[in-house]
Amino acid sequence: MPYSAETMKLQQVGIPDLRPEEQFIINCIRNEFSRVDNHSLSAAGCADIRWEAVFETALRWNIAPMLYRIIKNQTNIPNAPPIPDAVLKGMEAAYIKTYMVNQSNFLELTAIIKALTAAGIRVILLKGAHLAPFVYQDMGMRWMADIDILIRRADLHQANDILIKMGYSYPYVNGTAVWDDFGKRKEVGDQAAVIDWYKAHHMHLNYFNPNGLQNLELHWGIARNASPFAIDTEGLWERAQAEDLRGTPVHVLSPEDLILHISLHDAYYHHLRLFGLRPCCDIAMVVRRFSAQIVWERIYDRAREWKIERYVYLMLRLSNELFGIDTPKDLLRSNETKRCSDPVFLQAARRLLCKELDKPAFKGMNYPSEIHPFDSSQSLFDKIGFFLKRIPISREKLASRYSIPSASKRIHIYRLARLSALIFSYSLVYMHYFWFRLKHGQDHRGDYTFDLWLTSPESGQRKGIV
């Protein structure tokens, strides 16, 4: 199958060869979102495609319902390849399921918004709740794992009472302990104290109703209090746009704020791990739908003000190079390119395409794919203790890991082998980081591992990381 110029650019950076099924999907999406003619979906070029793998890949990339509508919309492309009915029916089933679930959820969401509005509480729809009805304008294209809405913090107590009266509860608030942003357990008292802690330190509460929404996230912000960002939450309200949801007045983010939020949510909070290509498709759809309204200078300026430039740059660059979205020509030549080297971008693209390399450094020791962020209040001994606590391991676990009998006299040799593996694996990541810190100081622009790039200090950000 012929590759587009943009895909060739990606491969020059080092992305592994795309399988024919993957290339077919990306070409379909590019035909939908790019203004450049990319009609490379010829029957001859699709001869090697395993069509069942197209559906499997679309599911893995979280875009099966969307791909179905895109393919149906592109049936008039000259020389389009014949797609087996079984594959189309599988994608159609995903689309219909998404449509039906969303229709049911939005009926309940409308009732919630009416109740909140009647109490004088203004509501902004976030993420999928905004995208499905008002950006995609097709309830079947955009799957949602949860429903997110934003209210003002001052309305939180009243909104909570309304939801409780409607049969909602807190499914994830159990016990008397919480875990802070650094994974540290804290005892805070009873359940009421746990909820109060979330309200003071978090950005949302999860609600559940067996006869309503299975997962409603009630937000009062889009970043946690302890985050390194400077989100202008009040500005979100000032720029919010009025919409009509099934006859009920509601508000949504401005197109610029929507792009910023999608970028922050997927790149920073989820490290591109959970949603496959869907967030980049979201951005592509926003750009296509509001191309005449988007003021790119506002996005750049606001990203700098919020201190989220790297995440916005990364998501826009991925969307641009994968799908050819219509962004300003100087976007990829901004100063942010100095902060995202080709090796870092390659890792991001690999993860997005589910092609990330994560091979064990040694047998019995997996390469640490996540960087541990330390609390800046922790002492040096606490930080050293983080690594020391990972050394002890039971005889049985060690034997199982190295496939030897637990009674074997060689067990002590394998303890030394595992210790060496631990030192080697952590050194690969942290020593590289320490070297950059020594060489460049706090305000460095390293090209080390992707996760460290996402969470490393920048202009004072995340100084809790060693």
Task: Give the per-residue pLDDT at 445.
Answer: 43
pLDDT at 122: 96
Indicate the residue type of 389. K
Q: pTM above the 0.75 mark?
A: yes
Token pair for 95: 């689309």
The pLDDT of residue 176 is 67
Burial of 466 (0-12, 13-18, 19+ CB in 10 A): middle
Taking CA atoms, 216 is separated from 65, 149, 150, 163, 297, in Å, by 22, 8, 11, 10, 33
pLDDT at 389: 74
Query: Which of 95, 92, 86, 81 has the alpha carbon at shortest distance from 53?
Result: 86
224 φ, ψ (degrees, to nearest 5): -70, 160
Which of 34, 82, 90 has its CA nearest to residue 57? 90
Cα distance between residue 17 and residue 249, in whole Å: 48
- 104 Cβ partners below 8 Å, 6+ apart? none
Question: Tell me, what's the pLDDT at 63?
Answer: 96
Q: Provide the pLDDT for residue 161.
A: 94
Please list, in sequence order, all residues whose beta carbon lies within 8 angstroms of the beta carbon of residue 411, skipping any fewer than 6 positions away: 395, 398, 399, 404
The CA-CA-CA angle for residues 208, 213, 216, to 5°, reads 65
Q: What is the pLDDT along the chain (466 residues), one digit of tens a residue?
A: 343 444 445 544 445 578 889 988 998 899 888 866 554 555 445 667 888 899 999 999 999 999 999 988 875 554 556 788 888 999 999 999 999 999 999 999 999 999 999 999 999 999 999 999 999 999 999 999 899 999 999 999 999 999 999 999 887 666 666 666 555 667 777 777 777 777 777 888 899 999 999 999 999 999 987 788 999 999 999 999 999 998 999 999 999 999 999 999 999 999 998 899 999 999 999 999 999 999 999 998 999 999 998 899 999 999 988 998 888 866 645 554 445 777 788 888 988 998 876 544 444 444 444 455 555 556 767 767 777 777 787 888 778 777 788 888 888 888 888 888 777 766 766 666 566 556 555 444 443 467 777 876 553 333 333 2
